[in-house]
């Protein structure tokens, strides 16, 4: 009885190398696996998909240009499509912490596609009927393919996941703003009582943050749409057809629904990560916006008795292993933890961008890992926050009930009696526990009708000609 061999011999420019018999990858990939036993972190699905689509589009472009044999090219297209679809994910075995250009992962893709294409051509793995360098990598270099894959992966993830999640949040917040418009509560500045505000106005502000996040994303997408493909080794385009990159970009744009265009300056496009830094900065800004929204909702839902208690947050799970009946705002907490990770990821991207020397950045894999993780985390956590928290929020009676007790209602008296007199009333109300209305009735000649008009919280939540020029700060 013969046993199936556990390895086969593959070759690269450094010579023979034993690889697992059932692997689609070859010698270069195996060397990288042995050279970089650093972590269990691999490029995410979004990146592998983008890289597969680039290889597919490259094969089509090279066939159209008459540079690649049609039979070999079609086999490469078929294999690259399988890679893009996730059917070969287990073959991408190289650690994130590898060669700074990402050459190991580019060769991982080239070898996997070549061996799978060889099977489609009727050969066995290792037969090289499709060659990883000569055919799959035709017209390309790791130095322009990897930054292009980073941009394409980020663009598609933003288009398919993050932008829809932010839009979904914007809609939900605007719906809550409308539903809460009639709820007037005490505003807060410096964590201290301020003049009244509509709960709906607060949520309109949150919706504005989501809206502006979408605007910032549009700018990031514009930056990422410019790709390095076509520059090959150092930006000069050596060994590639002058029309290659433009043709590949057109194919990619058609396949993905996102705009990808060849840069007009290949030297800056592949020797920097400037566009990635900007995109990561936008993600950090969005994260900070989400942090503010989640924290405000968490604080307004604090209690239920000893906190603010102005919002009832959906109860999704028990909050304590020791305190019966305790329920915590776990969905906002989850989002806030994602924010912390995104801020850390942005710092890693910034440091990675400093690894640009002469014609190449040599920290592309770690930049890709952190950028794409930020997009994925923000997408999932924003959707979850919308679905499991925002949509189920309810206003309580506690906010409106405290308005009459608010010391800063004295601001409404300033147009009639002046800032100093109103301040004295506020101080006395705070010291005695009386309401501003009660103190004002004792200390001024204002009638009940005057007090009703001046202390009407509805009139204090919008601009008024009657009180113009008397507003205070803080």
Is the pLDDT at 194 greater than 70? The verdict is yes
Within 10 angstroms of residue 324's Cβ, the number of other Cβ atoms is: 7
Radius of gyration of the CA atoms of the chain, in A: 30
Over pLDDT 70: what percentage of the chain? 97
| Beta-bridge partner residues of 356 | 361
- Tell me which of 414 and 469 has the higher pLDDT: 414
- 222-277 pLDDT per residue, tens: 999 999 999 999 999 999 999 999 999 999 999 999 999 999 999 999 999 999 99
The pTM assigned to this predicted structure is: 0.95
396, two tokens: 């309580």
Residues 76 and 150 in one domain: no
In a domain, 15, yes or no: no
266 is catalytic: no
Return the half-sphere exposure (C-beta side, CA atoms, 13 A cut-off) of residue 424.
8
DSSP string, 238-295: TTS-TTHHHHHHHHHHHHHSS--EE-S-HHHHHH--HHHHHHHHHHHHHHHHHHHHHH
Residues 272-287: what's their mean pLDDT? 98
Query: Among all chains, which residue has been given the structure tokens 């994260």?
Result: 287
Is the pLDDT at 59 greater than 60? The verdict is yes
Catalytic residue among 39, 219, 320, 447: 320
109 pLDDT band, cuts 50/70/90, is very high
Best CA proximity match to 130, nearest among 204, 79, 164: 79
Alpha carbon 467 to chain centroid distance?
Answer: 43
Is the pLDDT at 155 greater than 90? The verdict is yes
Residues 281 and 427 in one domain: no
Is the pLDDT at 1 greater than 80? The verdict is no
Query: Among all chains, which residue has been given the structure tokens 């709960």?
Result: 199
**Final residue of a structural domain among 370, 398, 426:** 398
In a domain, 75, yes or no: yes
In a domain, 242, yes or no: no
Residues 132 and 149 in one domain: no
Q: Which domain holds residue 121?
A: 23-138
Residues 206 and 64 in one domain: no
Residues 75 and 222 in one domain: no
Looking at residue 186, what is its pLDDT?
97
In a domain, 111, yes or no: yes
CATH number of the domain at 347, please.
1.20.200.10
Number of domains observed in the structure of the chain: 3
Q: How far apart are CA 166 and CA 216, in angstroms?
A: 11
CATH number of the domain at 429, please.
1.10.40.30
Is the pLDDT at 449 greater than 90? The verdict is yes
State the pairing for strand pair 226-227/356-357.
unpaired
3-state secondary structure of 3: coil
**Final residue of a structural domain among 398, 432, 448:** 398
- 113-151 pLDDT per residue, tens: 999 999 999 999 999 999 999 999 999 999 999 999 999
Residues 181 and 319 in one domain: yes
Tell me the pLDDT of the chain averaged across its residues: 96
Phi, psi dihedral angles at 185 (to 5 degrees):
-140, 180
468 pLDDT band, cuts 50/70/90, is low
Is the pLDDT at 307 greater than 60? The verdict is yes
Identify the helix (H) or strand (E) that includes residue 118. helix 103-120
Catalytic residue among 190, 356, 383, 447: 190
Residues 295 and 434 in one domain: no
241 is catalytic: no
In a domain, 76, yes or no: yes
Over pLDDT 90: what percentage of the chain? 96
């Amino acid at each position: 009885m013969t046993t199936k061999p556990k390895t086969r011999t593959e070759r690269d420019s450094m010579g023979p190398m034993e690889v697992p018999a059932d692997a689609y990858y070859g010698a270069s990939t195996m060397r990288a696996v042995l050279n970089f036993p650093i972590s269990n972190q691999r490029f995410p699905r979004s990146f592998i998909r983008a890289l597969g689509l680039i290889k597919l589009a490259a094969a089509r472009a090279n066939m159209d240009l008459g540079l690649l044999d049609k039979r070999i090219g079609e086999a490469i297209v078929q294999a690259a499509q399988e890679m893009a679809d996730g059917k070969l994910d287990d073959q991408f075995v190289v650690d994130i912490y590898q060669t700074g250009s990402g050459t190991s992962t580019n060769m991982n893709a080239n070898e996997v596609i070549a061996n799978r294409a060889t099977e489609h051509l009727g050969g066995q793995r290792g037969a090289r009927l499709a060659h990883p360098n000569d055919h799959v990598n035709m017209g390309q270099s790791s130095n322009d393919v990897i930054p292009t894959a980073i941009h394409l992966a980020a663009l598609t993830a933003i288009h398919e996941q993050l932008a829809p999640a932010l839009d979904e949040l914007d809609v939900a917040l605007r719906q809550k703003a409308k539903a809460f418009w009639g709820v007037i509560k005490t505003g807060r500045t410096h964590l201290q009582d301020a003049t009244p505000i509509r709960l709906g106005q607060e949520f309109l502000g949150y919706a504005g943050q989501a809206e502006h996040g979408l605007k910032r994303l549009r700018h990031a997408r514009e930056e990422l749409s410019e790709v390095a493909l076509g520059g090959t080794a150092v930006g000069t385009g050596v060994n590639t057809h002058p029309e290659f990159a433009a043709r590949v970009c057109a194919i990619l744009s058609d396949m993905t629904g996102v705009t990808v265009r060849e840069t007009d300056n290949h030297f800056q496009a592949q020797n920097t990560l400037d566009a990635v830094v900007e995109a990561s900065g936008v993600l950090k800004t969005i994260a900070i916006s989400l942090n503010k929204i989640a924290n405000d909702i968490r604080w307004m839902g604090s209690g239920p008795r000893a906190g603010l208690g102005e919002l009832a947050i959906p109860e999704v799970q028990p909050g304590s292993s020791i305190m019966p009946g305790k329920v915590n705002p776990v969905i906002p907490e989850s989002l806030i933890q994602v924010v912390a990770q995104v801020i850390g990821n942005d710092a890693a991207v910034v440091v990675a961008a400093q690894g640009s020397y002469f014609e190449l950045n040599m920290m592309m894999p770690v930049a890709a890992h952190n950028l794409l993780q930020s997009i994925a985390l923000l997408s999932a956590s924003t959707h979850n926050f919308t679905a499991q928290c925002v949509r189920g929020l309810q206003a309580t009676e506690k906010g409106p009930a405290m308005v009459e007790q608010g010391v800063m209602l004295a601001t409404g008296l300033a147009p009639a009696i002046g800032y100093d007199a109103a301040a004295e009333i506020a101080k006395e109300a705070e010291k005695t526990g009386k309401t501003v209305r009660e103190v004002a009735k004792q200390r001024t000649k204002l009638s009940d009708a005057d007090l009703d008009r001046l202390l009407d919280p509805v009139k204090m939540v919008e601009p008024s000609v009657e009180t113009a020029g008397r507003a205070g700060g803080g």
